[in-house]
Amino acid sequence: MIKVKSNVKLGSGFDVAHEFEGWKIAFITSAKQYGEIEVVKRHTLTDEVFVLLEGNASLYTADGDSPLEITHLEKEKLYVVEKNTWHHLKVTDKTVILVIENSNTSKENTETKSVFSLKGEEQ
């Protein structure tokens, strides 16, 4: 048997579409938390994968206290943010990003901090 699921909450931010035995798939769409960059976060137990499906998005990343680097996402490429890497996604209207991560990714194993110096140009 198969189940067909779609992202029915377009524009609401982070929406989990499916979870199974330790992993989950979600959609990120335009929402306040994916606008201006004020904080970055890092997951201490897991990598996180982003795939741009529609629209435009930039991924801000940094190791340790290094300056943030900006990567402009290209459609249908996998962007793997390794565990303990500071990151933030900035998306424009009508953007859809597929997210794959461990199902236990939560506030308990995610750290946040205020933005530090930026490197590069914003889109």
CATH number, position 70: 2.60.120.10
Identify which of 71, 53, 54 has the alpha carbon closest to the alpha carbon of residue 62.
71
Report the DSSP beta bridge partners of residue 91.
57
Identify which of 52, 92, 93, 56 has the alpha carbon closest to the alpha carbon of residue 75.
52
Token pair listed for 101: 């991560």
pTM for the model: 0.84
Domain count along the chain: 1
Is pLDDT of 118 > 50?
no
Is pLDDT of 94 > 90?
no
**Percent of the chain at pLDDT exceeding 90:** 50
Host domain of residue 89:
15-114
